[in-house]
Amino acid sequence: MNLGTPIAIGNTARIYLHENTIVKLFNDDLPDSESSKEADKQKFAYSCGLSVPKVLDVTRIDGKQAILMEHIEGRTLGELLFKDMEQAEHYINISVEVQQKIHSFAADSLEPI
């Protein structure tokens, strides 16, 4: 499958925007359970109402583990901050609120990280 050029590259995967779906294609050196474990964590976060993309599928593409998720249009807080440093306090407050919300949920059903 030709996914085109990655929109982001991290330590564990390459991220693609393909037909309005985000495809996270994992590196070969990771355990076979990596995509499922990550998808479970993201599904939990989504079920808590956190601002994360909905997982659409966990699959393999060209033999590699992949998570397919919804594409959410928008900018990151970092992008907004660097565009308008005058609003730094406002964006930092948003970041703190998001972190507090994340930490308000007990994720006992998930493996510790």
**Together in a domain, 69 and 85:** no
**Together in a domain, 66 and 87:** no
**Together in a domain, 17 and 57:** yes
8 Å CB contact between 55 and 46:
yes
**Together in a domain, 55 and 81:** no
Look at the chain and report how many structural domains it folds into.
2
Domain span at 11: 1-73
Q: How far apart are CA 104 and CA 89, in angstroms?
A: 22
What are 5's two structure tokens?
């050029």
**Together in a domain, 84 and 63:** no
Per-residue pLDDT in tens (0 to 9) along the chain, 113 residues: 899 999 999 999 999 999 999 999 999 999 999 999 999 999 999 999 998 999 999 999 999 999 999 999 999 999 999 999 999 999 999 999 999 999 998 888 877 76
Amino acid at 9: I
8 Å CB contact between 56 and 43:
no
Q: How far apart are CA 40 and CA 109, in angstroms?
A: 10
> Distances from the Cα of 81 to the Cαs of 35, 90, 97, 99, in angstroms?
31, 9, 16, 17
**Together in a domain, 54 and 91:** no
